[in-house]
Every structure is written in C-alpha cells, then in structure tokens.
C-alpha cells in the first residue's frame, strides 16, 4: 500500500501537470501503442518507471507491458490522438503501433554434419547447460522430446520461472524445460482478434501450453532429446533428436492459435528472456514477407539488439515469401537470418492418369489407400470461377465432384483446407497443383483424404490431359519414405530471398538450414493437418517453413556456445557462415527448387549450415556493440533513432562511417545504375584467428563476369602476438559491361585458406546495380 507521503506527492504532480490522457469518447478507436521512453528523464519523485508512466502517460488499467531490459518504455491501449499527444512529450523517443506478426510456418541433424562419436556433438557435450529461449506458441511438455532423464541440475545462473496457467503447472517444467511463460496482453487488447481469446481447453490455453503445435515442433527441433521409434503415422520412422539434445529449454509463448503474435508481447518476452539468463534466442516469427520497418520501428530488431548486445545469440526465420526476390524478412545485421533448404529424404506419391502417364509429387497422407483404383478426374477451375479452382470454402458443387479426384489450385487458403472442402463435397481424392508463384516447390502435408501435391509443370500437363479426354481418370499411389535423395540440399521454393529491401549493404539471408518436411514433436491439442476437424493425434508431425530452419541454427549456436563459451554472437554466426556448404550431395552447385537452376547467395546466403566444420572455422569475423552503432550512423540514422535501438545515448564519429565496412562475413556491393564508366568500392574486413596459433592464410578470389575483385594483402600471417589482421576488398565494375542475372545481381566470393586443407574461410560477394531514388 502506498504511503501517505507518496500519495501526496502524486497529487501535487497531477495538479501541476495536466494529465495527457483524456477520457474516451464513443467514436474513438482504441489500439495498442508501444512507447519508447528516455529512462534517464524519470523525475526523482517517482520510485519506479511504472509509477511515472501510470501518472504522466496512461491510466494504470490501460498499461499492458513495461519494458526495462532490452527496451525502455511501455505499451498501452490508446487512441491515435492520445498516442500523438504522448509522442510530443520531450521524454518520449518514439511511438509506434503494435503490429501482428506471423509464424514462418529426424534425419536433419545428420544432414547438418553431426555424428555421435566425434565432432561438435561430442566436443560440446550435446549443448549441455546452454539455455535456448524460444519465442513461439508454447510447448506440449509431456512429449518424450522434453524428458530430463540423466540431465544434471538446472544451471545456477538461471533466473527464470515456470508460470502456471490453464492446464499447465509448475510441475510441467523439469531439468530440460527449465522455464515457461506466456504473454497475451497485447493480443487481448488488439481489436483485430475480437478481444480476449477463447480459452476452453480446445481452442487455446491461457498458459504456456501449446494449442497450435508450432512451438512444440521448433523446441524439439532445436533441443529435443533422443526419442526412439519416432514417426508421423508411419512416415519418417527412426530416432528423433534435436540439434542440441542436452541444451535446456525456456519457452516464451507469444503467439496464439489463429490470431498471430503481437509486437508488444514479443518485446516483453525478449525483456524476460534476457533477464532470465538465456544464452540463445530462437524466433521463427516475422512480418509480411518482404515488408520491413526501419530497425528503430521494429520491435524484433530492437529486442534482438538488446539480447545480442549482452552476448545472447538470436536466430530468426527468413520468411516464406519466396521465390520472388526481396522477400527475406528479419533484416537487422545483429540477427542471424535463416532460410530453408531440403534434406535427403522425401515422401513421394505418384499420380497415374488414364492414358498411362505418371507424375511424381509429394504427400503425407496416411489413411486408407486407393489401391490403384482409377477414379473420374475433375477440375472445378474449368468453369472459370476462381474460388472453385482454388477449392475455397463452400465453392465446390457436390454434383460435380462427388466420387471423383479433384484438381485444386494452390493458393489463398491452407493446402490441407482444400482437401477438407473436397471431402465435404464428396470427392475421393485431391491433386494439389502449384501455380507460377510456387513453381516446382513441394512440401508434404498430412491430408485428411488421399491427396498429392505436384509442381506447376506437372499440374499443367494433368489439366491438359483432362481437357483433351472425354472421360479422364486418375489414381494416386503413396510410396512412403524415401532416403538418400539427390540432389540435396536444394533451396526451398518458399524460402525468403534477397535483395535486402531495407539495407542493400547487408546480404540476407545469412545462410540456410533444413526446413522442408521436418519431423519433430507435436501438440496433442490438434491433429497433424492443423485442421480443427482433424481428430487424429500424433506424437510427431512433419512441417515445412523457414520456421523449421531457424531452430536448427538455434541448436547449432547452442552447441558452438557450449564448445566456445567466450565467443560472441557475431563470432558464432561467422563460424556458421564461413564454413557453410555451397555444393550439394552430388558435389555440384546447390540448386533452386523454384526453377531447377543453380541457386545464388540471394537464396542461400553464405550456404547451407555445416556443423562438421563450424566448430573449428579457423578465422572469424567479430562485431562489437560500437561497430553496430557506427553502422547505424553510417546508414544515416540520427542519434535519437539509434538510442531507440541501443537504449544508451549514442555518439557517431565525426567522420561518417561507411555502412559497408561493418565487419560482416559476407560482402554486398551495390552501385548506382546512373553512374557510367568504371566504378569501385572498398570494403574493410578484420578476421580473428581462433585456430592454430601460427597460421598463414592466402586468399582465393572468384570474380563474376564484368567485375574485378582485388584483395590486399593476399596473405595473412598470424602468431601468438598477432591474432587479428585486416584486409581490404576492392570491387570494380562498369555498368555497361555488367550482365546481371534474373535477380538483378552477379555473384562471386573470396576464400582464405590455411594451405593445409583444414580451414577454408569463405565469404560470398554480391554485386548489383540500384537505381537512386
């Protein structure tokens, strides 16, 4: 209870300074705003920042979260006019709207180069005692993947807690799942979701318990224990395990089934995770594909900077907006941004037509098979009705599709939901045909009726057969699990692609990891299709997305953190990037699933993660907090905008830094298309020797056609006294002679080799022309 003196002082303040928040009128729309406040401006009369916020800015019931670790300020339910008034307060650095974000929805550890008896798994003790914080949809704690059998005590540095809630108690945590919290105030306040969530134990749980499945899947991908006899309805049978099986998990539920994830809740979870003591943060969440806010208006960028600046590695998903260029998300240079690739396992299904032709596709259907019976084939899109071609809800005529296999076009609704519509209308099966945007990219789905996905070319051929035959027929043959697929990895069609639409000085994504048809633990609240009507229950499910790729890198970072506890987040990222593979399992250039052509760094970044090499990278590129501030100065941010990100008051050097000199493991060289003649740019990089003390590295340059790349010096000699050395890369081109590919760029690389074949430190180089605004 507040003391009389404190209440008196509050009264004096309220009398002296008119309240900024006026009472609501019926025609004012209330929404959530996030307020960034200069923490040093708090009047001494207030014992805490919360007391200050509640007195000067917003009534206490309207304050949702207060932030004090990665961010200083609060979120509150306000009208636009109230937010505008608050923004004029000299203590307020920024005001921005709460936005809704999206989720970027067994053999993969081996495919990363991990082996039981040697290498990073054994050298890191499988990530033991490293704490991974996951911002996601929660967790289903009873799964075998989260057993604490034979694990030691919870690390003593852990300061977090297990938050009880609906169907979740403190006993659900253990020595594996050491913390669990949920964040819903921003979600509940959002008018876009119609008020507080439905919480009846079947739709959603007001607790860390996972009703969606996504969080359980990503948690077990990153750090699931060994589980024998794992499979999803017979598919992908074997031993399931996460990348860092002994790492500890702390779950922060910020996403809610069917209603997304809100910035104000995400920022609060970042605050909590850093205070709790996590070592790695995994966030498979992002905005609309290819649409990015400036770093100082992006709570994921701000929260992750607060984490990275304290030595916490943050892994994020690149988004699922591919294969179009400039669709990659989570672009901040302190984030490690992960795209998705395939692994050497597939789930083939074959479509057999009445004319004898066959087409290969993918499916995870596990129900009663068709047994080769031929059924009539129909394409509702022949009517010219778009909704029918997409098999949208209530768009199919039972008189047309009953007893038939139905061709549905991909897009506008969930793939499995199309199968539900076919089944409701009496169809016996579905052929799901890609459009041009998805190309040849295929992912498996646990359909509720016999169904198979095929690429755009195969889909066109099936439709051509249907149009040319009076009585077209087809059947689907499901062929189970196939291992040893070549080529692999392939860059997934859906994976977000560069160019970096926010800052072309930074190449994104940073790298790719397994993200197609990944087996991992699943919730018991919903079936493997994710449909509410799906009554099947499985311990594991198979999902695809950059959401699945991100936790692979989170687990990889945990292993590296365990093996090298003094490495910074930038050093860990550097080790992963410079040792990544750019060749597939045929020893050929990695391919792009969308078009069947060789992929580029716009698709795979530095390459596909290779943990067999990452533990001993030889050289690393480190980045300090001062380096990031100088980068922000270099891209033109003002001191106020930088302070929004960094919390502390920033100082830019008298001479403006060059943003391209951020010590990044990749190089993005962009030139103005308006300039004529030869044009050059210099890039300064510094490497730290983390390998043999006395080592000499020489450089190898791969220059694309029309570009000259020169590195000086060409040799780096390290000793016990010389652990850091710098070099300059000069990229020269002539816009008249530069022939760009379809993505508007050309690609090269530099590689530093120790001469004995143990270390090759590779950096991709992207060269592009941009039209000045």
Residues tagged active-site: 136, 214, 547
Q: Cα 402–543–207 angle (5° rounding)?
A: 105
Q: Is the peptide bond before 661 cis (omega within 30 degrees of 0)?
A: no
List residues bridging with 66 in a β-sheet.
Answer: 74
Contacts of residues 466-471 at CB distance under 8 Å and 24 or more positions apart, as own/partner, are 466/377, 466/378, 466/379, 466/382, 466/407, 467/382, 469/354, 469/355, 471/354, 471/376
Burial group, residue 657, by CB count within 10 angstroms (0-12, 13-18, 19+): middle
CA atoms of 717 and 708, how far apart (whole Å)? 25
Q: Which two tokens stand for residue 36?
A: 């960034």
CB-based burial, 129-158: b 16+ in 10 Å, e otherwise: bbbbbbbbbbbbbebbbbbeeebeebeeeb
CA atoms of 638 and 634, how far apart (whole Å)? 10
Q: Which two tokens stand for residue 453?
A: 């996905």
The region, left, alpha or beta by phi > 0 then psi within -120 to 50, assigned to residue 562 is alpha
Q: Is there a contact between 749 and 762 (Cβ–Cβ < 8 Å)? A: yes
Q: Which has the closest alpha carbon to 559: 515, 616, 620, 623?
A: 616
Q: Tokens 């129900």 appear where? A: 367
Beta strands in 140-224 (DSSP E): 177-182
CA atoms of 65 and 9, how far apart (whole Å)? 24
CA atoms of 84 and 35, how far apart (whole Å)? 11
CA atoms of 337 and 605, how far apart (whole Å)? 9
Q: Is there a contact between 500 and 328 (Cβ–Cβ < 8 Å)? A: yes
Residues whose CB is less than 8 angstroms from the CB of residue 151 and which lie 6 or more positions away in sequence, other chains included: 128, 175, 176, 246, 248
Q: Tokens 């916490």 appear where? A: 312
Orientation of helix 214-223 relative to helix 546-563, angle to 10°? 30
Residue 752 DSSP code: E
Q: In this structure, how many other beta carbons lie within 10 angstroms of the beta carbon of residue 170?
A: 10
List residues bridging with 768 in a β-sheet.
Answer: 670, 745
Orientation of helix 639-646 relative to helix 625-634, angle to 10°? 150
Cα diameter, the chain: 90
Q: Tokens 């359909």 appear where? A: 447
Half-sphere exposure of 610 (CA within 13 A, CB side): 21
Q: Which two tokens stand for residue 270?
A: 């970042």
Tell me how many helices (H) and strands (E) the chain has: 19, 39
């Amino acid at each position: 209870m507040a003391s009389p003196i404190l209440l008196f002082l509050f009264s004096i303040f309220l009398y002296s300074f008119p309240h900024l928040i006026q009472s609501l009128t019926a025609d004012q729309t209330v929404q959530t705003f996030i307020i960034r406040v200069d923490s040093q401006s708090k009047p001494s009369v207030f014992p805490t920042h919360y007391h200050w916020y509640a007195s000067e800015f917003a009534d206490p019931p309207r304050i949702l979260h207060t932030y004090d670790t990665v961010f200083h300020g609060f979120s509150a339910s306000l009208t636009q006019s109230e937010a505008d008034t608050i923004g004029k307060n000299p203590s307020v650095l920024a005001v921005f709207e709460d936005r809704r974000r999206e989720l970027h929805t067994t053999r993969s550890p081996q495919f990363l180069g991990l082996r039981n008896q040697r290498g990073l798994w054994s050298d890191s003790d499988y990530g033991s005692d490293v704490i991974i914080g996951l911002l996601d949809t929660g967790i289903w704690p009873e799964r075998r993947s989260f057993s604490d059998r034979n694990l030691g005590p919870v690390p003593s540095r852990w300061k977090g807690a297990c938050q009880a809630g609906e169907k979740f108690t403190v006993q659900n945590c253990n020595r594996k799942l050491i913390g669990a919290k949920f964040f819903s105030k921003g979600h509940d306040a959002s008018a876009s979701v119609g008020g507080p969530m439905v919480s009846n134990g079947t739709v959603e749980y007001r607790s860390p318990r996972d009703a969606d499945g996504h969080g359980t899947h990503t948690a077990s991908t990153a750090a699931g224990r060994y589980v024998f006899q794992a499979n999803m309805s017979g598919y992908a049978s074997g031993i399931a395990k996460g990348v860092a099986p002994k790492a500890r998990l702390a779950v922060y539920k910020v996403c809610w089934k069917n209603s997304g994830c809100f910035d104000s809740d995400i920022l609060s979870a970042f605050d909590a995770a850093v205070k709790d003591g996590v070592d790695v943060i995994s966030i498979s969440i992002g905005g609309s594909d290819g649409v990015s806010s400036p770093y100082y208006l992006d709570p994921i960028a701000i929260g992750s900077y607060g984490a990275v600046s304290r030595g916490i590695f943050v892994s994020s998903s690149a988004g699922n907006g591919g294969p179009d260029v400039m669709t990659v998300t989570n672009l901040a240079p302190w984030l490690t941004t992960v795209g998705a690739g395939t692994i050497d396992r597939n789930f083939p299904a074959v479509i057999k037509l009445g004319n004898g032709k066959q087409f290969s596709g993918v499916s995870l259907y596990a129900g009663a098979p068709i047994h080769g019976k031929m059924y009539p084939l129909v394409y509702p899109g022949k009517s010219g009705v778009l909704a029918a071609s997409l098999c949208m809800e209530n768009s199919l005529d039972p008189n047309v599709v009953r007893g038939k296999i139905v061709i549905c076009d991909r897009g506008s609704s969930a793939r499995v939901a199309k199968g539900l519509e076919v089944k409701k209308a009496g169809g016996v099966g579905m052929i799901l045909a890609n459009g041009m945007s998805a190309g040849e990219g295929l992912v498996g789905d646990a359909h509720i009726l016999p169904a198979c996905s095929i690429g755009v070319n195969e889909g066109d051929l099936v439709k051509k057969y249907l149009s040319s035959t009076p009585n077209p027929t087809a059947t689907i043959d499901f062929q189970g699990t196939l291992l040893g697929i070549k080529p692999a990895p392939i860059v997934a069609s859906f994976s977000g692609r560069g160019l970096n639409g926010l800052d072309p000085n930074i190449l994104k994504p940073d790298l790719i990891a397994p993200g197609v048809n990944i087996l991992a633990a699943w919730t018991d609240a919903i079936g493997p299709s994710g449909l509410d009507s799906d009554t099947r229950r499985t311990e594991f499910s198979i999902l695809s997305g950059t959401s699945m790729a991100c936790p692979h890198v989170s687990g990889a970072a945990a292993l590296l953190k365990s093996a090298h506890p003094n490495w910074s987040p930038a050093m860990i990222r550097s080790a992963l990037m410079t040792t990544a593979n750019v060749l597939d399992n045929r020893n050929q250039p990695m391919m792009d699933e969308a078009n069947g052509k060789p992929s580029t760094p716009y698709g795979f970044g530095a390459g596909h993660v290779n943990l067999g090499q990452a533990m001993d990278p030889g050289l690393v590129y480190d980045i300090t907090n001062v380096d990031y501030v100088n980068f922000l100065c270099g891209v033109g941010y003002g001191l106020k905008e930088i302070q929004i990100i960094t919390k502390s008051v920033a100082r830019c050097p008298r001479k403006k830094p060059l943003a391209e000199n951020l010590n990044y493991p990749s190089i993005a060289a962009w030139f103005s298309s308006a300039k004529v003649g030869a044009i050059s740019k210099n890039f300064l990089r510094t490497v730290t020797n983390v390998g043999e003390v006395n080592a000499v590295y020489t450089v190898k340059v791969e220059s694309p056609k029309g570009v000259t790349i020169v590195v000086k010096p060409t040799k780096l000699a390290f000793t016990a006294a010389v652990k850091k050395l710098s070099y300059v890369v000069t990229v020269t081109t002539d816009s008249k002679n530069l022939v760009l590919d379809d993505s508007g760029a050309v690609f090269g690389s530099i590689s530093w080799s120790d001469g004995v074949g143990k270390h090759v430190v590779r950096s991709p180089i992207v060269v592009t022309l941009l039209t000045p605004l």
